[in-house]
Each structure stands twice: as structure tokens, then as C-alpha cells.
Amino acid sequence: MKFVDDILKKLFTDKSAAVTHKENFTPSQSEMAETYKWSQSAEGQQLFDLLYQNIHLQKAGEIVPPELQIFRSPYANGLALFYEAPLDSESFSHLFFAFGQRIVDLGYERVSLDRTIQEKPTGVNITEKQYLKPKTSYMAERTEQLFGNVAIEKVSVNHQPQMIKILVTIYSDRLYTKARSFDTFVESLFNPQ
């Protein structure tokens, strides 16, 4: 009932307070089938190829649309894809789910899929998030972490897509194997076998 309490507080108190609602969701079978069909199509493959090319151009210091940014640190690496031409809202949504499926295909399991809706005086922010972890192996001495945990977020502001962010966080624990490189992750994500 937190959501109802938040609405009541907004109605009867400070008008500048933000209302936040978080929910789990599951895309329909038809939506997932449509995303799979799109990702296998010439249009989908061309977009993945363009994004892959843009990553390499970004590393060389050249920014071309759609803009991609790479983030690197010792324990977390990622990339952010900004919404601009030639992306449209349909391809942007397909990309969000197609990235998730490609990561599942790398040996991950989707642990959660949720949506956070935050109403602010300036508008409505919607963040859809997939959280993926390497499949657990109970027979091994150490758990194979593959590339680490992966979070994919799709952010919209006032129902306009803004960006997709992919963040890979590694375990630095003796219970886990050494993480594979982020460069290998990017190669595997854009050029699945």
C-alpha cells in the first residue's frame, strides 16, 4: 500500500514531492517473439553492426549518432547508448530486450525484470531494468563469474526514450573465478556465436 500512501501524501502535503512506484513485469510471449524476429532481421542486424562500429569509433575519439559512451573502472564497466537517429522507440525497445537475450545466451540467467515509475514535478521518469547473473555451478570449487553481474536499464523521461545503460560489475572474491575482460563481453554481445 506504499503506492497509495504516496499518492495520499502527494494530494494532501508537499506538491513538490516525487511519487515512486516499482513493479516487476514480464513481457508477453508475442512481444518476445517480435523482438527475436527483429533481432534476426536485416534491420536488427544492421543496427547491431552500426552500434558495434560506433563503439570502435568512440574508442578512437569520434562520436557519431547514435552516441555511445564507454565506462571503465577496476570493478565495474559499462556502456551507455543514447536515443537518437537512426533509433526509433520500437527499435530502442527491441534493443533493450535483445541485449538481455544475448546475455542469457552467454550463460546468464535473468534474475529480475522490473520497472520504476517516478512522478516528479518536472515529469515522469520510467526506468526498466533487467538484472542478470552467471548461472551458478555447485560442482566447481569456485563459481564461474563469466564477466560479472550485468544490469541493463532503459530510461525514458516523459515517455520519451533517453538511453540504454549496460553495467557489468565483477566479484573480487576468492569464491569466484577471475572475470573475463569487458572487451570480450562487448565482442560477445555484438557478435554472438
pLDDT digit string (tens) for the chain, length 193 residues:
666 666 666 666 555 667 888 999 898 899 999 999 999 999 999 999 999 999 988 888 888 899 898 999 988 999 999 999 999 999 999 999 999 999 999 999 999 999 999 998 888 999 999 999 998 877 668 888 999 999 999 999 999 999 999 999 998 888 888 999 999 999 999 987 6
Contacting residues for 188 by C-beta, under 8 A, at least 6 apart: 102, 106
Strand order in the sheet with 123-134: 19-24, 108-120, 123-134, 149-157, 160-169, 76-82, 68-72
For 56-97, the pLDDT digits (tens) are: 888 888 888 998 989 999 889 999 999 999 999 999 999 999
Taking alpha carbons only, the member of 173, 109, 96, 169 closest to residue 142 is 173
Task: Give the number of other CB atoms < 10 A from CB of residue 127.
Answer: 17
Task: Give the number of other CB atoms < 10 A from CB of residue 141.
Answer: 7
Going by the DSSP 8-state scheme, the letter that residue 142 receives in this structure is S
Q: What is the pTM of this model?
A: 0.86
Q: Coil, strand, or helix at residue 80? A: strand
Q: Coil, strand, or helix at residue 51? A: helix
Which residues in 53-69 are b (16+ Cβ under 10 Å) and which e?
A: ebbeebeeeeeeebebe
